[in-house]
Structures are given as C-alpha cells and as structure tokens.
Amino acid sequence: MVEPIFEYQFRLILIGDSTVGKSSLLKYFTDGKFAEVCDPTVGVDFYARLIEVRPGIRVKLQLWDTAGQERFRSITRSYYRNSVGALIVYDITKRSSFEHLEDWLKESQLHIEPHKAVYLIVGHKSDKDNDRKVTTREGRQFAEYHGLRFLETSAKTGTNVEEAFLVVARDIYQMLEEGKITVEEGWDGVKNGFARPKETLHLVEGEPEGGGCC
C-alpha cells in the first residue's frame, strides 16, 4: 500500500507590471512574513508550498514569479504554456498597472491555450488605502466583465494572501473533479502527486517481537 504525500501538483504563474508586489505576495505565502525590501525579479523565480484544498486532500503548488519588465517578456512567455493557474496582479496605488491588466490577460490566454486555466485578478497593497488610485469597484468590475474572480490583498498585513492562492487551487481541483482539466502527458500544469511506501506491520498479533517461524 502507498500513502500519498500529495494528490496533485499545480503549476501557477504570477504576472503583472514590475513593482506591483508579486514577489512580496509569494514570500508572504511561502514564508509567512513580509519582505520590506524585494530585489526586482530577473526572468523568473520559483517557490513551492503544500496546501489542503479539501479535508485530507493536499496539493503541491509550484509557483513561478515572473519579471514585469518588457525586456524579460520573451523569457516569461515560455512559462505560460505549462501553467494551470494565473494570478494577474496590479497595484491599487498605481493606475497604469491596472490599465495594463487587459494586456496581461490576453497574453496569458494566448500562450496557455489550448489548455484551460484558472485566473484571479489581484489588487495588491490594500494596506495603502489612502494612496489608492484604483477603486475596489473598478477591480471587481474588470474581473466580472471577464468572468474571473477578484480579491484585494496586502503582503504587509497578510490580508487575503492565503485566500488568493487557495481560491485558485480549489477552483483547479474542482475543474479536475468535473473533468474540465486533466493530467496530460507532456504538460506540467497538473501532475499526479508523489507517493511513499506505507510502513509495513512486521508483528503478527499475539506474536512476540523478534519471533519467527521454526
């Protein structure tokens, strides 16, 4: 018999303009703390964490943090195809990052298709409400127009950080159960989990330890 370490592995990608806080979100989600200073991502960075999507059902999230600068686009595009989830992040204090959401969404859909994926629009830095340039209503309306989920988050306070990744992972698992997403050879978006041998029971009831046959 085998006891699974996790049922599936989901590969997620974070995209959006530079400095919107993608790395901060990932560091809070994986380390549980806010990084006051984050060096700009060069190309891509990798993170991972195990979560529970249903009671007793664990999945491993393979998380790819992408650079927002245009000069790295050719590198980050190659990571779209093997992703089953995308968090598209903007900074609520930076209007231009919100205005670029449409471009990020179209680019990710173009490169992920024909595979299906779960998308979440993330308005980040909700702790800076006094400096807000994008209203919560605007963010929600953009997401609803495209039929996507929406959350505002803050890596500084931890608001909705955990929830953002759980929402995406649970939706992916739901689509797996419904057969809308499947494990496919040659695609890394969803992979089956790894397993380990279950400890073998060596003692027969009533037999003393070390006891054997004649």
With H, G, I as helix, E, B as strand and everything else as coil, classify residue 28. helix
- pTM greater than 0.85: no
Asked whether 127 and 28 are in contact (CB, 8 A), the reply is: no
Asked whether 28 and 158 are in contact (CB, 8 A), the reply is: yes
Task: Tell me the percentage of the chain whose pLDDT exceeds 90.
Answer: 66
pLDDT in tens, 76-120: 666 788 899 999 999 999 999 999 999 999 999 998 888 899 999
- Judged against a pLDDT cut of 70, whether residue 161 lies above it is answered with yes
Residue 37 binned pLDDT confidence (cut-offs 50, 70, 90):
low
**Among candidate residues 202, 180, 200, 205, the one with its CA nearest the CA of residue 190:** 180
The alpha-helical segments, DSSP class H, found in the chain are 22-31, 73-80, 95-99, 101-112, 136-145, 161-177
Task: Out of 25-34, 40-49, 72-81, 162-171, pick the least confident.
Answer: 72-81
pLDDT in tens, 128-137: 999 999 999 9
| pLDDT at residue number 45 | 74
Residue 40 binned pLDDT confidence (cut-offs 50, 70, 90):
low
Average pLDDT of every residue of the chain:
85
Q: Please state the rounded mean pLDDT for residues 10-14.
A: 95
Domains and CATH numbers, the chain: 8-192 (3.40.50.300)
